[in-house]
Copies of this chain bind each other. A is one copy, B any other.
Amino acid sequence: MPGNIYGERFVVVSFGESHGKGVGTVVDGIPAGLVLSEADIQPDLDLRRPGQSIVTTQRKEGDVVEIMSGVFNGRTTGAPVMMMIRNLDVDSRSYEAMVNTPRPSHADLTHRTKYGGYNDYRGSGRASARVTAGFVMAGAAAKKLLKETLGVEIIAYTLELGGLRAEGFTLEDARKNRYSNDVRSPDPELAERMKRMVIKSRGEGDSLGGIVECVALNLPVGLGEPVFNSLDSDLAQMALSIPAVKGVEFGSGFASARLKGSENNDQYYVDKKGRISTATNNSGGIIGGVSSGEPLVYRLAFKPPASIAKKQKTVDLSKRKQVELVVPGRHDPVVVPRAVPIVECCTAIVLADHALRAGFISPVLGGRGKQP
């Protein structure tokens, strides 16, 4: 596959560019019989929509999703579901100006080189975070599928932003608070401090990074394969397809490298419901590549966005000499807040794919293959 198709049984096709006609997705493999309409997709799209607050780019897009196929009488039919949004607030002038001065650490030069100069560079083209709107459309459907069939709940939030890290919060805090503040923090007070930090950084023409943590509850035991396509493998693969992600870790993650086995191992006990459970969850809900029944917990590190107003050095490709660059245009001063719903949706895609692969969700909801 050339790199725009993800998955095996819940398959997500990505298309569209930042400044083209629109962006969207074809999802092949949503089981027949799921109640689905634009109303199920739009809320997640709204959460990632730009221009909503001071912490995001000021590009104004309605991002109104249209389902073009695969739904009939309010339910999925088993056929591919095509969904898309139109690009409306497009201004490509700054990209024309920048075409020969690639932004440091942005895809300008690597994509130009890879595609022999034929790539659509306007608004960063396929390298734009706008492409993730398609992930969100697909993921919103995946979330609904997982919730209705298995009761899975997915909660992501900003764990860290600009060095400020949320601590002492509960999952219930995250569930309740994350979408009530602009930075998607589980802690409203910390959210204010983070927001001020973003405003300050933006004022300095700079950008900030951060960490998103994602938790998924109520997974059955047995999602993921033992060798390749382990659940962590596939979540990591998807995570690194989200622009600006530079690292991913599960459970105790990098910290486990400094723990002893006796400290890191999750010892078993029988819980009150008679279920075999673990006292700790350093495994992050995945053992031997397979979901363990404990909460899935993983974290994604986002670098600070590459497009900054501050003066930087780059090379003028036409003159082949170093020049100074001040990136014009509208850019996110930090991607983490907008990334939170994207991470939830991407997680849902991977989980839905594995739930279908492992037979926990049937290709037709409510049974199949019987003559009417």
Instruction: Establish whether residues A207 and B28, one from each chain, have CB atoms under 8 Å apart when the complex forms.
Output: no
Instruction: Establish whether residues A253 and B259, one from each chain, have CB atoms under 8 Å apart when the complex forms.
Output: no
Query: Which residue in B84, B107, B314, B360 is a CB contact (below 8 Å) of A288?
Result: B107
- A113: shortest Cβ distance to chain B, in Å? 4
| A366 in contact (CB, < 8 A) | yes
Q: Which of A228, A270, A317 has the most CB of B within 10 A?
A: A228
Query: Which residue in B5, B221, B357, B363 is a CB contact (below 8 Å) of A110?
Result: B221
Instruction: Establish whether residues A116 and B367, one from each chain, have CB atoms under 8 Å apart when the complex forms.
Output: yes
Q: Which of A114, A234, A269, A369 has the most CB of B within 10 A?
A: A114
- A18: shortest Cβ distance to chain B, in Å? 11
| A90 in contact (CB, < 8 A) | no
| A238 in contact (CB, < 8 A) | yes
Query: Which residue in B11, B268, B322 is a CB contact (below 8 Å) of A104?
Result: B268
Enumerate A46-93 residues with CB–CB distance to B below 8 Å: 68-70, 72, 75-82, 84
Instruction: Establish whether residues B4 and A228, one from each chain, have CB atoms under 8 Å apart when the complex forms.
Output: yes
| A17 in contact (CB, < 8 A) | yes
Q: In the complex, what residues of B have CB within 8 A of residue A240's CB?
A: 230, 232-233, 235-236, 250, 289
Q: In the complex, what residues of B have CB within 8 A of residue A370's CB?
A: 113, 116, 221
Q: In the complex, what residues of B have CB within 8 A of residue A111's CB?
A: 226, 288, 290
Instruction: Establish whether residues A78 and B118, one from each chain, have CB atoms under 8 Å apart when the complex forms.
Output: yes
Instruction: Establish whether residues B13 and A315, one from each chain, have CB atoms under 8 Å apart when the complex forms.
Output: no
Give Cα distance in the complex from A122 to B340, angstroms: 39
| A222 in contact (CB, < 8 A) | yes
Give Cα distance in the complex from A70 to B237, angstroms: 24
Instruction: Establish whether residues B3 and A28, one from each chain, have CB atoms under 8 Å apart when the complex forms.
Output: yes
Instruction: Establish whether residues A227 and B266, one from each chain, have CB atoms under 8 Å apart when the complex forms.
Output: no
Query: Which residue in B20, B230, B358, B372 is a CB contact (below 8 Å) of A241?
Result: B230
Q: In the complex, what residues of B have CB within 8 A of residue A291's CB?
A: 110
Instruction: Establish whether residues B105 and A322, one from each chain, have CB atoms under 8 Å apart when the complex forms.
Output: no
Give Cα distance in the complex from A248 to B22, angstroms: 33
Q: In the complex, what residues of B have CB within 8 A of residue A347's CB?
A: none
Give Cα distance in the complex from A247 to B21, angstroms: 38
Instruction: Establish whether residues A266 and B79, one from each chain, have CB atoms under 8 Å apart when the complex forms.
Output: no
Instruction: Establish whether residues B1 and A13, one from each chain, have CB atoms under 8 Å apart when the complex forms.
Output: no
Stretch touching chain B among A37-45, A174-182, A301-309: A301-309
Given contacts A20-B69, A368-B116, contact A270 B5 (CB under 8 A): no
Nearest CB to that of A135 among chain B residues? B227
Query: Which residue in B127, B268, B282 is a CB contact (below 8 Å) of A322?
Result: B268
Instruction: Establish whether residues A246 and B249, one from each chain, have CB atoms under 8 Å apart when the complex forms.
Output: yes
Stretch touching chain B among A140-148, A188-196, A272-280: A272-280
Query: Which residue in B206, B220, B250, B262 is a CB contact (below 8 Å) of A247?
Result: B250
Q: In the complex, what residues of B have CB within 8 A of residue A28's CB?
A: 1-5, 13
Given contacts A113-B222, A227-B14, A293-B371, contact A253 B118 (CB under 8 A): no
Give Cα distance in the complex from A262 to B208, angstroms: 9
Nearest CB to that of A282 among chain B residues? B105
Instruction: Please list the 6 inter-chain residue pairs (A to B) with the smallest Cβ-Cβ separation, ordered nearest first.
Output: A107-B288, A3-B225, A247-B249, A207-B261, A237-B237, A114-B222
A and B contact pairs by CB, cutoff 8 A, 15 listed: A13-B13, A14-B228, A16-B68, A72-B119, A78-B115, A106-B288, A109-B292, A113-B368, A205-B262, A209-B257, A246-B250, A247-B256, A256-B302, A261-B304, A261-B307
